[in-house]
């Protein structure tokens, strides 16, 4: 069942709450990604809602200020709007605990919300924060060597023209809302200290900063190996899960993760 929820100043922010009211798992909150409206890239958020609904998970998708149907609201940025969404759902008695996230900038929203808000029990980070480091460079060199030798000189010239950069400086820091690597490691440790669950998925769509699964451990330190942290790297899948096989793989993984991360106790409430 879907309901429309109005929240924020004068109720000018709109979200769609999907799923069974009897659900006991944390609600998955999906802020819109970038400029794409709340239904998600290629209606992905709607498909997530349908799939997770089958596992008794409610979802809440909404447009951030200035995106989709939402007006620009003075003093309300994406961070504040996400917090308002959680406040609203809690005040309405819909949920006390949440998972926040989505694709790209929505993943960043999820990370920030999890770090800042103890009500956030987990995050779904699709092409979210990560840092390059030695494994990225290794993967890049391996990729060059896999090409015909006649292309190597051109690649070398281009690389020398780019200059050197700090190994852990995120390439996309200019337009993503990311912590430093040291901060990210500390933040993950803090999240795990309060028993949060995290799902990370990286795709070929972020090949400018992620090319090897071993980067995950380098990026996040000891926390990356915690059983409450799940990471997939799908180098054959694109950033917005355009084709059916990509979509289905994500939905399968998300459903399985949710059921494992937030199992239901006997009696129906979640044990996460």
Partner 1 sequence: MSVGDWQPGWIGAAARPLYAALHAAPGAEVGVLMLPPLLHEQPRSRRVLVEVASRLAEAGLPCLRFDYYGTGDSGGAGDEHDFASIHADLDVALAALQAQAAVARVVVLAWRASILPACTWADAHPEVAALAGWEPVVDGAAWVAGLEAADRDERRERYAAGEAQQVDAYLMGFPTSPRWRTDFSAARLQAPKRAPLWVLTRAEGGADAQRHFALPADAPRFDDGVGIENAMFLSRKLFGVVDDFAHAARAA
Rounded to a whole number of angstroms, the minimum distance from the CB of residue 65 to partner 1 is: 10
The first and second tokens of residue 77, run together, are 């940025």
Give Cα 73 distance to the centre of its chain: 24
Residue 245 touches partner 1, criterion: CB under 8 A: yes
Closest CA to 8 of 61, 83, 67, 69: 83
Beta carbon nearer to partner 1, 186 or 213: 213
Q: Which residue do the tokens 């699964």 mark?
A: 213
Buried b (16+ CB within 10 A) or exposed e, 124-161: bbbbbbbbbbebbeebbeeeeeeeeeeeeeeeeeeeee
- Minimum CB separation of residue 138 from partner 1 in Å reads 21
Site mask, partner 1, residues 53-92, x = CB under 8 A? --------------xxxxxx--------------------
User: If you ran DSSP here, which 8-state letter would residue 111 be given?
Assistant: H
Which tokens is 134 given? 């030695």
- Binding of residue 37 to partner 1 (CB under 8 A): yes
**Beta carbon of residue 52, minimum distance to partner 1 (angstroms, whole number):** 16
- Render 156-180 in DSSP notation, one character per residue: HHHHHHH----TTS-TTTTTS----
Options 8, 41, 128, 272; binder of partner 1; rule CB under 8 A: 41
- Label each residue of 230-257 as H, E or C: EEEEECCCCCCCCCHHHHHHHHHHHHHH
In the complex, least distance from residue 247 CB atom to partner 1, rounded to whole angstroms: 8
Contact (CB, 8 A) for 54 and 259? no
In angstroms, give the least distance from the CB of 243 to partner 1. Answer: 6
Asked whether position 208 contacts partner 1 by CB under 8 A, the answer is: no
Query: Site for partner 1 (CB under 8 A): which residue of 34, 143, 263, 268?
Result: 34
Residue 43 binds partner 1, judged by CB under 8 A? yes
Site for partner 1 in 225-244 (CB under 8 A): 236, 238, 240, 242-244
3-class DSSP state for residue 71?
coil
Q: Toward partner 1, which CB reaches closer, 243 or 271?
A: 243
**Binding site residues, partner 1, CB under 8 A:** 2, 4, 6, 14, 16, 34-39, 41-43, 46, 67-72, 236, 238, 240, 242-246
């Amino acid at each position: 069942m879907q309901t429309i929820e109005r929240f924020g100043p004068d109720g000018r922010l709109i979200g769609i709450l999907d799923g069974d009211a009897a659900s006991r798992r944390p609600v998955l909150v999906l802020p819109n990604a970038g400029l794409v409206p709340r239904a998600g890239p290629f209606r992905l958020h709607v498909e997530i809602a349908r799939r997770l609904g089958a596992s008794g998970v409610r979802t809440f998708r909404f447009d951030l200020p200035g995106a989709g149907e939402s007006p620009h609201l003075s003093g309300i940025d994406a961070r504040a709007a996400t917090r308002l969404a959680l406040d609203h759902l809690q005040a309405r008695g819909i949920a006390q605990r949440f998972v926040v996230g989505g694709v790209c900038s929505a993943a960043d929203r999820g990370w920030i919300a999890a770090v800042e808000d103890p009500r956030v029990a987990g995050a779904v980070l699709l092409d979210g924060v990560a840092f390059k480091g030695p494994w990225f460079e290794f993967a890049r060199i391996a990729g060059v060597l896999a090409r015909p030798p006649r292309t190597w000189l051109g690649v070398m010239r281009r690389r020398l023209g780019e200059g050197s950069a700090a190994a852990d400086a995120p390439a996309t820091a200019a337009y993503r809302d990311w912590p430093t690597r040291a901060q990210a490691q500390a933040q993950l440790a803090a999240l795990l200290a309060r028993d949060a669950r995290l799902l990370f998925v990286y795709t070929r769509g972020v090949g400018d900063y992620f090319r090897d699964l071993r980067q995950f451990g380098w990026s996040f330190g000891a926390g990356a190996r915690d059983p409450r942290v799940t990471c997939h790297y799908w180098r054959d899948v694109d950033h917005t899960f355009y084709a059916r096989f990509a979509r289905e793989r994500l939905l399968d993984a998300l459903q399985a993760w949710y059921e494992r991360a937030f199992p239901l106790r006997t009696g129906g409430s979640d044990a996460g």
